[in-house]
């Protein structure tokens, strides 16, 4: 066990070596501190450019006079089909949502498949069809693709990587650094459904009622919000690492504090029950069809109304505000009147012993 001076994980931007982790562990893909450390300490130094270092869900690039949002995402999920969706839905919605979180109108996607030898073609077909349907629903075209096959035992059935481009409207500047004290923090609906749905089928756990993933495209919802005000400061879809990870990233990138009201956060009973049973915190559970928005306070009510009028935002709720106190930190007021910090998760959440 090491006893040398170390860095607070809350400040993973410090260019320290990857301590104690000579091999990749599952937590490196969990969307928490370990994932961020991998990007900051391995990928950004290797690629060396400011666009990537902005660490937004998608990069916003100037090209031929247009402002283009560009993003890519690999999708590995077990099982391939789950209540409420499939790998195909995630592969399309994931990239569409990453583009939408820059305020972009997504236009074109690519789709690259890595198939494992022995997978039934009917499975691949079901995934491809799900992608076609999801693309149509999101208003995007899958314009190019690639297929590779790996030997049996060298993959997990099917992996899909999608990349996408979209146009960012004039006057829209949405990025984590723009959060300001006084901003209202809004979540578009109930949290935790996707993560609990996947857990219930992957681990064979039953929670009394079927919980369906919330996977959905969010570009339409974002467009409805921007119709109310182009001055939305920050958007983020809280996927891996959940709401807690997204809010921590925004707090740190902007140097502001975030204060939430625990009782205002919409956690469905089924999610709360499953999390209670497993010793997990719904704030850290993954979502695939939700967004969190930071909007200037004067516009908050109008934005909320527009969100609630959209099918993907009927459950939109004001959950907190951006503050000058505790910069870089997310703090929640508990239902009883106490307070606690909501930290960036280290890796993936682990079920507790009892």
Partner 1 sequence: MKYIDEFNDPDLARRLLDEIHATATRPWALMEVCGGQTHSIIRHGIDQLLPEQVELIHGPGCPVCVTPLDVIDKALEIASRPGVIFCSFGDMLRVPGTDRDLFRVKGEGGDVRVVYSPLDALELARKHPDREVVFFAIGFETTAPANAMAVHQARRLGLANFSLLVSHVRVPPAVEAIMSAPQCRVQGFLAAGHVCSVMGTAEYPELAERFGVPLVVTGFEPLDILEGIRRAVRQLERGEHRVENAYARAVREDGNPAALRMIQEVFEVADRNWRGIGRIPRSGWRLSEAFRAYDAEHRFDVGGIRTEEPAECRSGEVLQGLIKPTECAAFGTTCTPRTPLGATMVSSEGACAAYYLYRRMNSPMPQAARAAREEMNPVA
Where along the sequence are the contacts to partner 1 (CB under 8 A)?
A: 1-11, 13-14, 19-21, 23-27, 33, 203, 205, 252-256, 269, 272-273, 276, 278-279, 326-329, 331, 334-341, 343, 346, 350-354
Strands (E), the chain: 59-63, 66-75, 81-82, 85-86, 105-116, 141-150, 158-167, 184-187, 234-236, 257-261, 292-295, 317-323, 330-333, 339-342
Count of residues in the chain:
354
Task: Report the residue number, 272 or 305, with the smaller CB distance to partner 1.
Answer: 272
Closer residue to partner 1 in complex, CB, 76/167: 76
Least Cα distance to 114 among 90, 145, 144, 143 occurs for 145
Q: Tell me how far, at minimum, the Cβ of 66 lies from partner 1, in Å.
A: 29
| Residue 347 beta carbon to partner 1: minimum distance, rounded to whole angstroms | 8
Distance between CA atoms of 189 and 214, rounded to whole angstroms? Answer: 9
Q: Which is nearer to partner 1, 90 or 342 (CB)?
A: 342
> Dihedral of CA 294/299/304/306: which sign?
negative
User: Could you tell me the smallest distance in angstroms from the CB atom of residue 253 to partner 1?
Assistant: 8
Give the DSSP letter string of 287-320.
Answer: -SS--EEEE-HHHHHHHHHHHHTSGGGTT-EEEE
The structure tokens listed for 294 are: 């930071």
Q: How far is the CB of 105 from partner 1 (least distance, A)?
A: 30
Distances, alpha carbon 167 to alpha carbons 163, 202, 239, in Å: 14, 37, 23
Longest dimension (CA), the chain: 58
In degrees, to the nearest 5, what angle opens at C-alpha 79 toward C-alphas 163 and 56?
30
- What is the C-alpha radius of gyration for the chain, rounded to an integer number of angstroms? 20
Question: Residue 96 or residue 179: which is nearer to partner 1 going by CB?
Answer: 179
Q: How far is the CB of 226 from partner 1 (least distance, A)?
A: 26
Least distance (Å) from partner 1 to the CB of residue 293? 21
Least separation in angstroms between CB 166 and partner 1: 29
- Determine the Cα–Cα distance for residues 143 and 106; give it in Å rounded to an integer: 12
Residue with tokens 């990239």: 95
Report CA-CA distances (Å) from 109 to 123, 139, 145.
Answer: 21, 11, 9
**Least distance in angstroms from the C-beta of 94 to partner 1:** 25
Minimum CB separation of residue 7 from partner 1 in Å reads 6
């Amino acid at each position: 066990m090491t006893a040398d001076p170390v860095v607070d994980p809350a400040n993973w931007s410090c260019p320290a070596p990857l301590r104690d982790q000579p091999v990749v562990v599952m937590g490196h893909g969990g969307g928490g501190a370990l994932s961020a450390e991998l990007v900051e300490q391995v990928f950004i130094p290797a690629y060396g450019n400011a666009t990537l270092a902005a660490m937004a869900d998608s990069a916003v690039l100037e090209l031929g006079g247009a402002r283009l949002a560009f993003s890519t995402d690999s999708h590995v999920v077990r099982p391939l089909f789950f209540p409420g969706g499939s790998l195909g839905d995630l592969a399309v919605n994931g990239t569409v949502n990453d583009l939408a979180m820059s305020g972009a109108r997504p236009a074109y996607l690519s789709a690259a498949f890595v198939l494992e030898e022995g997978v039934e073609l009917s499975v691949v077909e079901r995934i491809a069809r799900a992608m076609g349907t999801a693309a149509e629903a999101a208003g995007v075209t899958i314009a190019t693709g690639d297929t590779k096959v790996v030997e049996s035992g060298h993959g997990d059935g099917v992996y899909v990587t999608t990349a996408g481009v979209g146009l960012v409207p004039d006057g829209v500047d949405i990025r984590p650094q723009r959060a300001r004290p006084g901003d209202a923090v809004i979540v578009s609906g109930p949290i935790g459904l996707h993560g609990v749905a996947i857990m219930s089928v992957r681990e064979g756990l039953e929670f009394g009622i079927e919980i369906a993933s919330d996977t959905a495209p969010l570009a339409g919802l974002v467009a409805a919000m921007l119709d109310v005000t182009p001055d939305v400061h920050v958007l983020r879809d809280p996927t891996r690492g959940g709401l807690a990870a997204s809010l921590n990233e925004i707090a740190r990138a902007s140097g502001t504090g975030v204060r939430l009201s625990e009782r205002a956060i919409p956690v469905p009973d089924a999610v709360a029950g499953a999390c209670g049973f497993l010793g997990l915190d719904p704030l850290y559970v993954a979502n695939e069809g939700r967004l969190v928005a930071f909007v200037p306070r004067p516009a908050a009510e109008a934005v909320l109304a527009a969100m609630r009028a959209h099918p993907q935002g009927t459950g939109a709720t004001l959950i907190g505000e951006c503050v000058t106190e505790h910069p870089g930190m997310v703090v929640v007021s508990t239902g009883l009147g106490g307070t606690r910090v909501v930290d960036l998760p280290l890796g993936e959440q682990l079920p507790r012993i009892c």
